[in-house]
Amino acid sequence: MVKALVCDPVSDLALRILEEAGVEVSYRPDIGREELLSVVDGYEVLVVRSRTRVDAEVITRGGRLRVVGRAGTGLDNIDLEKSEERGVAVVNTPEAPVNAVAELVIGLMIAVSRGIHVGDRLIRLGKWPKKHLVGTELHGKTLGVVGLGRIGRRVAEIARGFGMKILAYDVVEIP
């Protein structure tokens, strides 16, 4: 049976998918570097997010290591050169953060347009800041999106649902 060490927090669904695929999962979302170095040799798979650095030392100590899976997009915390040298496949999940990031962007737009940050501060001081919470509507406003990758496109989709006009730019031709 393939053994995987999950070194960072991931969803219950992610763990279930691994287990249903017949992978023996060791979930250690708070594992420290020294402990990781001492146990990595017992696993064929490492699953990480951005917190865990998978550098040359981790890869070298992971003699049985065959795959490093990055839950998310960036691979800057993984030594790709050493991975290739040791025959360790590196994979990521570029679609995973798209909705979460796009929803955060829209949520922050709402917070700023409605003055929620000011209202929150005043409510905590015991005041009712009705005039500070009126703000402006997103509907009918124009949103500029620079970069129409997966996240930029999703932000534009959601913003259109609010009735916003979209202006977009990308260095790659927009279809």
Query: What CATH number should be reported for the domain holding residue 119?
Result: 3.40.50.720
Question: Any residues with CB less than 8 A from the CB of 109 and at least 6 apart, and which?
Answer: 138, 143, 159
Q: Are residues 61 and 31 in the same domain?
A: yes
Q: Which residue has the higher pLDDT, 141 or 134?
A: 141
Q: Are residues 88 and 104 in the same domain?
A: no
Establish if 174 belongs to a structural domain: no
- Looking at the 3D structure of the chain, how many domains does it have? 2
What is the DSSP-derived secondary structure letter of residue 71? S
Q: Are residues 15 and 78 in the same domain?
A: yes
Q: Are residues 128 and 149 in the same domain?
A: yes
Containing domain of residue 25, as a range? 3-92
Establish if 70 belongs to a structural domain: yes
Quick check: 133 pLDDT over 90? no
Q: Are residues 163 and 106 in the same domain?
A: yes
The rounded mean pLDDT for the chain is: 94
Establish if 175 belongs to a structural domain: no
Establish if 33 belongs to a structural domain: yes
Q: Are residues 114 and 159 in the same domain?
A: yes
- Of the pLDDT bands very low, low, confident and very high (cuts 50, 70, 90), residue 159 is very high
Q: Are residues 19 and 81 in the same domain?
A: yes
User: Strand (E) positions, the chain?
Assistant: 3-6, 24-27, 45-48, 67-70, 89-92, 142-146, 165-169
Q: Are residues 61 and 107 in the same domain?
A: no
Quick check: 95 pLDDT over 90? no
What letter represents residue 6's amino acid?
A: V
Q: In the listed set 40, 67, 92, which residue is the last one of a domain according to the structure?
A: 92
Q: Are residues 88 and 42 in the same domain?
A: yes
Phi, psi of 69 (to 5 degrees): -105, 125
Quick check: 41 pLDDT over 80? yes
Which of 84-88, 94-98, 169-173 is most confident? 84-88
- How confident is the model at residue 56, as a pLDDT? 98
Pairing of strands 67-70, 45-48: parallel
Q: In the listed set 24, 59, 92, which residue is the last one of a domain according to the structure?
A: 92
Q: Are residues 74 and 140 in the same domain?
A: no
